[in-house]
Amino acid sequence: MRLSAGLLHTAHDILQIVYDNPMSQHDISSLLGKSWVASSDEALNLAMRCGWIEVGKQSSFTVSKRGEKIRIQSEYQTRLRSQLEDFIERYKPPWSKLLPSGRTQTLMCLNEDVFQCFKEAELTNKPPNMGIVTWWDRLASRARGQRDALLLEVGRSGEKLSIQFETNRVGVAPKWQSIESNAEGYDVLSIVSNSDKTRLSIEVKASLQSVGQASFYLSRNEWKHALSAANHCIHLWAQVDKQPQMAILHKTDILPHIPKNLGDGEWTSSAIPFSTFEKMFMNSMD
């Protein structure tokens, strides 16, 4: 859906009409032939998908509680902010992923129509007042939550691949440690081989990106465990949602890329590109 200020305005007009006279589907359809600022068909679809209009008794369309909060807002800018917030939550447009990066980065990537929505909502004002700051912070926090949820899902996909790999390798299903606790410094607990039952701890790093594009973060706690464990390795998984490629790293492979503490500073996390170990990658079925 192509978002515009006119579309949001038309959706609000439809809310007011439905509030004044709850309508059947046939009555709603009759609205679509009228002249509006923007496409009434798209505006009605927007209102329904965002939950501003709902189907009530006898299949009649009525304004929902959320729609009523938007309808009664007297200030145009406040209403647009509420509509934008609902649109982002429902449609999750690609540019919403930039919200955690800040206002400037987000606004730079908007097309003219979407930018106009933010401008008319006074979300581009400089300097921003606390109401504007609060709006951006709330949306950024929500986007971070969605991003973190995606990262967790990708991580779990990599861990499942490692569990299957280890099961095939040694004939015994390993323990999925990260499900029980994420404080141990590793994700999967396997054994060295089918003839050697010594513990082998495995840290799993996964990405949707290719080997040439992906990076992983190694925490200080994960590295401390790697150094202290008698048997430990890291599984890197690239393209977990397509054709997974895997690399198995040992502490000697990682050591040259670990930062050093200087002065009173102490490193807590290190970012390392997958491509550093490009020659070690293999197809997951190899």
Q: Is residue 285 pLDDT above 60, yes or no?
A: no
Q: Tell me, yes or no, whether 245 lies in a domain.
A: yes
Residue 36 confidence (pLDDT): 72
Q: Are residues 162 and 274 in the same domain?
A: yes
> What is the DSSP code string of 141-195?
HHHHHHHHHHHHHHHHHHHHHHHHHHHHHHSSPPEEHHHH-S-SS-SEEEES-SS
pLDDT in tens, 238-283: 999 989 999 999 999 999 999 999 999 999 999 999 999 999 998 7
pLDDT at 20: 87
Same domain, 239 and 278: yes
Distance CA 92, CA 31 (A): 28
- Mean residue pLDDT across the chain: 91
Q: What is the pLDDT of residue 35?
A: 64
Looking at the structure of the chain, the number of domains it has is 2
pLDDT tier, 24 (very low <50, low <70, confident <90, very high otherwise): confident
84 and 185 share one domain: no
Look at 31-35, 107-111, 199-203 and tell me which has the smallest mean pLDDT: 31-35
108/194 same-domain check = no
What's the CATH code of the domain at 54? 1.10.10
In a domain, 266, yes or no: yes
Same domain, yes or no: 48 and 159: no
Instruction: Label residue 286 by pLDDT band (50, 70, 90).
Output: low
Residue 136's CB: how many other CB atoms inside 10 A? 15
- Tell me which residue range forms the domain holding 236: 155-283
To the nearest whole percent, how much of the chain has pLDDT over 90? 75
Task: Examine residue 273 and state whether it is found in any structural domain, yes or no.
Answer: yes
* Average pLDDT value for residue range 206-213: 96
**H/E element holding 62?**
strand 61-63
231 found inside a domain: yes
- Whether 133 is covered by a domain: the verdict is no
Cα separation values, 111 from 20, 37, 101, 114, 150, Å:
35, 19, 18, 6, 25
272 and 167 in a common domain: yes
Which residues have C-beta within 8 Å of that of residue 204, sequence separation ≥ 6?
155, 158, 159, 162, 178, 187, 188, 234, 235, 237
Both 114 and 13 in a single domain? yes
**Total residues belonging to the chain:** 286
**Mean pLDDT on 157-175:** 96
User: Is 150 part of any domain?
Assistant: no
Q: Which of 25-34, 76-85, 120-129, 213-222 has the lowest mean pLDDT?
A: 25-34
Q: Would residue 219 count as lying in a domain?
A: yes
| CATH number of 194's domain | 3.40.1350
Structure-token pair, residue 208: 């949707």
Counting Cβ atoms within 10 Å, is residue 238 exposed (0-12), middle (13-18) or buried (19+)? buried
pLDDT at 108 over 70: yes
Is 138 among the domain residues? no
Cα separation, 215 vs 81, whole angstroms: 36
Q: Are residues 205 and 161 in the same domain?
A: yes
225 and 116 fall within a common domain: no
Is omega for the bond preceding 244 within 30 degrees of 0, making it cis?
no
Cβ atoms of residues 158 and 204 within 8 Å: yes
Question: Is a pLDDT exceeding 80 seen at residue 29?
Answer: no
Same domain, 99 and 196: no
Do 159 and 276 share a domain, yes or no?
Answer: yes
Same structural domain, 243 and 176: yes
d(CA 159, CA 138) in angstroms, rounded, equals 32
What mean pLDDT is predicted for residues 36-43?
80
pLDDT, position 55: 79
